[in-house]
């Protein structure tokens, strides 16, 4: 054996690997389409101030049809709503609301769910029984009923909505993580880690969690979709973020009484939110398809 020096492991290598695994998406047109839809809305949200033709809160001219010309010589491409705000601008700014709240809520739901799931699956015994019972109890609520109760009781503020989503979503994540951990904890490399004296949290976070990432990534895409739906539904039911900030669900709610006469007011926000959810669902499907291949 020659004493060859090794190149030191570098951090860009990890980045390259992440990019490479992302590049696998091109093998699934479904996933690619999903990623494209998401990318579209992310760009829209990032460049909202540049893209939106009007102030989303300004009342300019009520009930304008799509394509009508605006008083300032511009065009209301998607028309205006009942109090005269430009719908295109509101959809563009509304994408920010969705793309800020949904990922934050999902992220924290994951933190809570992963910690609970790791503990339940790894320690088993009474920790598992207690955590699983709590999770089952929360999961036995029809989701929307749970949201309605929480928000009806504590009011519809952004922070309450986030907390409600974390409260209602983390048990599902916990169950998923628990199942994965129960499988992974029996692997021989876990025994190897135990027999070299690793601590429980090291084993959970370093030895187990990284190997559960595949299903968790797929699930997080689906769950982002659900959370977006939830935020939308709450807005639609009048329990969402307080007006006047543009929120897609809220836009639908405010104008749905006029949907028969002015369908454009509700139709375009509906298309926007559906396309974003479709993006996440397609991406999840594509990722799952790829992960099943090898």
Partner 1 sequence: MLVFILKRLGYMALTMIAVSILLFLLLEISPGNVATKVLGPYSNEEQRNLWLEAHGYFEPLYVRYFAWLANFVTGDFGESIRFKVPVSQVLWPRLGNTAILGLATFAVMIPLSLVLGVLAGMREGSKLDRAISVTSIATTSVPEFASTVFVSAIFVFWLKLLPGTSTMTDGFSLRQLVLPVMVLVLYDFGYIARMTRASMAEVMTTAYIRTAVLKGLPYKQVILKHALRNALIAPFTVIMLQLNWLLSGVIVVEFFFAYKGFGALLLEASLNQDIFVIEACAMVAVFVAVASQTLADIGYTYLNPRIRFA
Partner 2 sequence: MATATDAPLLEIKDLCLSYFTRAGEIPAVVDFSLSLAAGESVGLVGESGCGKSTVALGIMQYMGHNGGIVGGSIMFKGRDLTTLGDEELRQLRGSEIAMVYQEPMAALNPSLTIGAQLIEVPMVHEKVGEKEARQRALALLADVRLPDPERIMAAYPHQLSGGQQQRVVIAMALLSNPSLLLLDEPTTALDVTVEAGIVALIAELSRKFGTALLYISHNLGLMLEICDRVCVMYSGEVIEEGAIDSIFTWPKHPYTHGLFGCIPLPHTDKNARPLVPIRGQLPLPHQRPAGCNFGPRCDFFKPGLCDAGDIKIETVTADNDAEHRVRCVRWNDIDPKDAIAVGAGKKPVVIGEPVLEVEGLQKYYEVHDRSIGALISGAGTRFVKANEALDFTARRGETVAIVGESGCGKSTFAKVLMGLETATAGEIRLEGRNIAGMAVGKRSAEQLAALQMVFQNPDDTLNPSHTVGSQISRVIRKFGVETDRAKARERMLRLLDLVKLPRDFALRRPRQLSGGQKQRVGIARAFAGNPSMVIADEPVSALDVSVAAAVTELLMDIQREHKTTLLFISHDLGMVRYLADRIVVMYLGQIMERGTTEEVFGPPYHPYTEALLSAVPIADPKIEKRHIVLEGALPSAIDPPKGCPFHTRCPRKLGEICEQERPPVQIDREDHVIACHIPLAELREVEPVIRAAS
* Cβ 143 vs Cβ 230: under 8 Å: yes
State the minimum distance, in angstroms, from the CB of residue 293 to partner 2.
8
Q: Which is nearer to partner 2, 87 or 208 (CB)?
A: 208
* Cβ 212 vs Cβ 51: under 8 Å: no
Which residue in 57, 97, 90 sits closest to 264, CA to CA?
90
Residue with tokens 């990623």: 35
**Angle, nearest 10°, between helix axes 87-123 and 248-255?**
130
Q: Which does 277 bind (CB under 5 to 8 A by kind): partner 2, partner 1, none?
A: partner 1
Q: Does 260 bind partner 1 (CB under 8 A)?
A: yes
User: Which residues is 69 bridged to in the sheet?
Assistant: 75
Q: Which does 291 bind (CB under 5 to 8 A by kind): partner 1, partner 2, none?
A: none
* Per-residue tokens: 115: 């910690």
Q: Does 19 bind partner 2 (CB under 8 A)?
A: no
Q: Which is nearer to partner 1, 21 or 136 (CB)?
A: 136
Q: Which does 141 bind (CB under 5 to 8 A by kind): partner 2, partner 1, none?
A: partner 1
State the minimum distance, in angstroms, from the CB of residue 9 to partner 2.
6
Q: Does 196 bind partner 2 (CB under 8 A)?
A: yes
Residues 6+ apart with CB under 8 A from 77: 53, 66, 67, 88
Q: Does 150 bind partner 1 (CB under 8 A)?
A: yes
Which range binds partner 2 by CB under 8 A, 125-133, 194-202, 237-245, 262-270?
194-202
State the minimum distance, in angstroms, from the CB of residue 274 to partner 2.
32
The greatest distance separating any two alpha carbons of the chain, rounded to the nearest whole angstrom, comes to 82
Alpha-carbon distance of 210 to 47, in angstroms, equals 34
In the complex, the residues that contact partner 2 under the rule CB under 8 A are 1, 4, 6-7, 9, 27, 187-189, 191-198, 207, 210-211, 213, 293
């Amino acid at each position: 054996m020659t004493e060859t020096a090794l190149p030191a492991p570098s951090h860009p290598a990890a980045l390259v690997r992440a990019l490479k695994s992302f590049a696998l998406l091109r093998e699934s047109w479904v996933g690619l389409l999903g990623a494209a839809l998401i990318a579209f809305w992310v760009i829209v949200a990032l460049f909202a101030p540049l893209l939106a033709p009007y102030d989303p809160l300004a009342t300019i001219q009520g009930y304008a049809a799509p394509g009508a010309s605006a008083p300032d010589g511009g065009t209301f491409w998607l028309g205006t709503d009942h109090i005269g705000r430009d719908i295109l601008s509101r959809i563009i700014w509304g994408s920010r609301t969705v793309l800020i709240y949904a990922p934050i809520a999902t992220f924290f739901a994951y933190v809570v769910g992963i910690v609970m799931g790791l503990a339940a699956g790894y320690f088993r015994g009474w920790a598992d029984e207690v955590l699983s019972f709590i999770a089952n109890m929360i999961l036995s609520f029809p989701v929307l009923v749970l949201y309605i109760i929480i928000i009806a009781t504590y009011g519809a503020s952004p922070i309450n909505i986030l907390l409600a989503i974390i409260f209602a979503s983390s048990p599902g994540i916990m169950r998923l993580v628990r199942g994965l951990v129960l499988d992974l904890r029996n692997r021989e490399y876990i025994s190897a880690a135990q027999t070299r004296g690793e601590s429980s949290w090291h084993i959970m976070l370093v030895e187990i969690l990284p190997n559960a990432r595949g299903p968790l990534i797929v699930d997080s895409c689906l769950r982002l979709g659900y959370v977006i739906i939830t935020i939308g539904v709450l807005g639609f039911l009048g329990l969402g973020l307080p007006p006047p900030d543009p929120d897609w669900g809220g836009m639908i709610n405010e104008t749905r009484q006029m949907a028969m006469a002015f369908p454009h007011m509700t139709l375009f926000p509906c298309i926007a939110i559906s396309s974003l959810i479709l993006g996440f669902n397609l991406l999840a499907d594509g990722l799952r398809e790829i992960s099943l291949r090898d």
